[in-house]
Structure formats: structure tokens, C-alpha cells
Amino acid sequence: MAIENAAGLTGIRSGAESPNRCQNVLGAWIVLAVLSAFLVVGGIIGYLGWTSTDTDVPTSGYVAMVLGVIFSVAVGVGLMALIFYSGRKG
């Protein structure tokens, strides 16, 4: 059966799935599980590090943290916008 994709190219599609499809799905689940485990372990370590001391963070520390997060997000959004623009305009 012939199919046409968005670029106007025609290809032949067989009724059977690729034999590597099961391996790809399994690999994706393994990567997801490992990354989720990293996230959980990082959260536990962060929580233990945050609560292990009795020192207080001054207000200026919280302000610096918020400004750092805002700046980091702005840089990330700006870089992604440049990548998108570059991909569209060449």
C-alpha cells in the first residue's frame, strides 16, 4: 500500500511492524525508569541537605535564588527561541 507523507514523498508501508519496535519501546521504558530514579534520589538528597542544618537563610539569599531561577529560565527560553528561529530561517 502506498502512502504519501507531508513532504509529498511516497513510500511503501508493509502490514507488519518493524522487529526492532519492541526493543525501542523497552529501551524507552528503561531510560524513563533510570531518569525517574535519578530524580527521586536527587530529591531525597536535596531534602536531606536542606533540612539537615539549623541555619536560616537570610531574605537576601531567597531573593538571589529567585533572581537566579528567573535569569536561568529567561536564558533557556531565549536560546530555545533562537534555535526555533534558526530552524525556520536557516
Residue 8 lies in a domain: no
Residue 46, domain extent: 20-55
CA torsion through residues 48, 52, 58, 64, sign: negative
Residue 14 lies in a domain: no
Total tally of structural domains belonging to the chain: 2
Residue 13 lies in a domain: no
Instruction: Find out whether 11 and 2 touch, Cβ atoms under 8 Å.
Output: yes
Residue 69 lies in a domain: yes
pLDDT at 80: 96
83 and 65 co-located in one domain: yes
Greater confidence, 90 or 68? 68
pTM: predicted TM-score of the whole model, two decimal places: 0.47
Amino acid identity of residue 72, one-letter, is S
Greater confidence, 14 or 81? 81
pLDDT in tens, 1-55: 556 566 566 556 555 555 577 778 888 999 999 999 999 999 999 999 888 888 8
